[in-house]
Amino acid sequence: MPEQQSHPEVRDAVARLCAEYPDEYWREKDRDKAYPTEFVQALTDAGYLSVLIPEAYQGAGMDLAAACAVLEEIQRSGANGAACHAQMYIMGTLLRHGSDAQKQKYLPDIASGALRLQAFGVTEPSSGTDTTRIKTRAHLDGDHYVVSGQKVFISRVEHSDLLLLLVRTTARDEVEKPTQGMSVLLVDLREAVGNGLTVRPLETMLNHATTELFFDKLRVPVENLVGEEGKGFSYILDGMNAERILIAAECIGDARWFIDRATQYAREREVFGASIGKNQGIQFPIARAHVQTEAAALMVDKACRMFDAGEACGSEANMSKLLAADASWAAADMCLQTHGGYGFTVEYDVERKFRETRLYQVAPISTNLILSNIATHVLGLPKSF
Ligand SMILES: Cc1cc2nc3c(=O)[nH]c(=O)nc-3n(C[C@H](O)[C@H](O)[C@H](O)COP(=O)(O)OP(=O)(O)OC[C@H]3O[C@@H](n4cnc5c(N)ncnc54)[C@H](O)[C@@H]3O)c2cc1C
């Protein structure tokens, strides 16, 4: 099958690791809504979650293409990398904007897996996609920020030691531009939970360990401010290109898993005395999904190369995320259809992956918001909001 194969040695090694966590493992975790602790530990021990941390901080110091290879292979094996993918990229904000003291304090331990930084708190119930309207406030009280407010859909908090939190430090109507006046705090969850922070699990259609967070005068030491007060929004934006390209790589992995499974099933399943794969009505949707996936993979590859070359790649990151998420969702639908009734049964794993890949039409950024960005920033059409 023709496809991009950057970092083949990383891909092989990740595929071998994932083979030790077969379909049954993920099926059980999904049924029990349990966190795949063993899998995440194995990835951590093998160093795959620290590929983007520079060697100076004891990470592997590899490029984004290597991180994409890791995540694509995880998804392609049938696993769910969403359990830990954020450990790879959330630290980017700390790396780019943190003080030397913060980097020395946290990054080596994140690289070794001693500290988990895989929770990222942006979304709020009342602001939704309109991040500048977040209401979670932090004000200075001596040498602490005091945080009050609420977040929703914040994933992996129960499996993280640290949370990167976006708060308002100056009210929206007191700043020149709505994007000003927000700040990023590094919250130590080991101290915060039960002392001003309440975490409430949120049940969703997929096993994603997502939660609601309630802040009631949580005290965060002032030294945990990342970068400058008031500039948090731009720091968060900075990290979004890497996040989008990595999620796009995951979607490519998902799409390839669906295509592999559909092809295999279409060959083996016999109805009307022949394999269903003999019918063009079955073949063509599989072939179309393959074409769509390979095209999306080229855009992911392009965005990744631009990112690794230090070029501005906001539009390419957005386009790759949209194309890859569309390819994986189309492949998911095709795979379910190819499996007929069996696609709905838990034992074939198609319905689980179908639910999991659907998320990427909405998070971390929804398809509409990407289209809006392309329409206004690339094509110069008037803004609608
Ligand atoms: C399982 C899961 C895990 C998540 N994990 C995290 C996490 O760890 N951290 C975090 O901060 N967030 C997380 N999120 C939140 C996610 O990023 C948001 O759900 C997403 O950004 C959309 O925000 P919203 O749900 O408030 O939708 P809304 O902003 O309410 O939008 C609803 C719909 O309207 C559309 N829409 C809104 N405005 C416009 C417009 N102007 N034009 C056209 N269409 C528009 C949107 O595209 C969307 O389809 C997670 C979400 C889920 C479901």
CB within 8 A of 255, min separation 6: which ones?
A: 289, 292, 293, 296, 324, 327, 328, 330, 331, 332, 357
Mean pLDDT of the residues in the chain: 97
Question: What is the C-alpha separation between 103 and 117, in angstroms, rounded?
Answer: 13
Q: Residue 91: pLDDT above 70?
A: yes
Closest approach atom of ligand 1 to CA 365: 21
The per-residue pLDDT for range 139-194, each reduced to its tens digit, is 999 999 999 999 999 999 999 999 999 999 999 999 999 999 999 999 999 999 99
Number of alpha carbons in the 13 Å side-chain half-sphere of residue 307: 29
pTM score, whole prediction: 0.97
Region 270-295: what's the mean pLDDT? 98
Question: What is the C-alpha separation between 336 and 331, in angstroms, rounded?
Answer: 9
Q: Where does the pLDDT of residue 1 fall: very low under 50, low under 70, confident under 90, or very high at 90 and above?
A: very low
The per-residue pLDDT for range 120-154, each reduced to its tens digit, is 999 999 999 999 999 999 999 999 999 999 999 99
CB within 8 A of 209, min separation 6: which ones?
A: 35, 83, 155, 156, 157, 158, 159, 201
Residue 361 Cα, ligand 1 centroid: separation in angstroms?
A: 10
Residue 222 Cα, ligand 1 centroid: separation in angstroms?
A: 30
| Helix, strand, coil % in the chain, rounded to nearest 5 | 55, 15, 25
Number of alpha carbons in the 13 Å side-chain half-sphere of residue 10: 22
Query: Which residue, by CA, sits nearest to atom 18 of ligand 1?
Result: 363
Token pair for 18: 């994932």
Amino acid at 194: G
Is any atom of ligand 1 closer than 6 Å to the C-beta of 170?
no
Question: What is the C-alpha separation between 189 and 163, in angstroms, rounded?
Answer: 7
Neighbours of 263 (CB within 10 A): 20
Sequence ranges of the domains in the chain: 8-112, 117-230, 234-378
Is any atom of ligand 1 closer than 6 Å to the C-beta of 154?
yes
Is any atom of ligand 1 closer than 6 Å to the C-beta of 239?
no
Alpha-helix runs per DSSP H in 48-121: 64-76, 85-89, 91-97, 100-112
Is any atom of ligand 1 closer than 6 Å to the C-beta of 210?
yes
pLDDT at 2: 46
CATH of domain 117-230: 2.40.110.10
The per-residue pLDDT for range 28-63, each reduced to its tens digit, is 999 999 999 999 999 999 999 999 999 999 999 999
Q: Residue 303: pLDDT above 80?
A: yes
Widest CA span of the chain, in angstroms? 79
Question: What is the C-alpha separation between 99 and 105, in angstroms, rounded?
Answer: 10
Burial class (CB in 10 A: 0-12, 13-18, 19+), 31: exposed
Query: Which residue, by CA, sits nearest to atom 45 of ligand 1?
Result: 368
Task: State the architecture of 234-378 in CATH terms.
Answer: Up-down Bundle (1.20)
Closest approach atom of ligand 1 to CA 204: 1
Question: What is the C-alpha separation between 18 and 39, in angstroms, rounded?
Answer: 8
The per-residue pLDDT for range 200-216, each reduced to its tens digit, is 999 999 999 999 999 99
Query: Which residue, by CA, sits nearest to atom 16 of ligand 1?
Result: 363
Q: Residue 22: pLDDT above 70?
A: yes
Task: For residue 94, give Cα distances in angstroms to 81, 100, 103, 114, 169.
Answer: 22, 10, 7, 17, 19
Closest approach atom of ligand 1 to CA 368: 47
Question: What is the C-alpha separation between 5 and 11, in angstroms, rounded?
Answer: 8
Instruction: Check if the beta carbon of residue 285 is closer than 8 Å to that of residue 334.
Output: yes
CATH of domain 8-112: 1.10.540.10
Question: What is the C-alpha separation between 314 and 327, in angstroms, rounded?
Answer: 20
Residue 127 Cα, ligand 1 centroid: separation in angstroms?
A: 10
Residue 120 Cα, ligand 1 centroid: separation in angstroms?
A: 14
Is any atom of ligand 1 closer than 6 Å to the C-beta of 160?
no
Q: Where does the pLDDT of residue 13 fall: very low under 50, low under 70, confident under 90, or very high at 90 and above?
A: very high
Residue 5 Cα, ligand 1 centroid: separation in angstroms?
A: 32
Region 110-116: what's the mean pLDDT? 96
pLDDT at 5: 75
Amino acid at 60: A
Across the chain, where does the E strand assignment appear? 117-121, 137-141, 144-155, 162-168, 182-188, 197-201, 210-221, 225-226, 270-271, 274-275
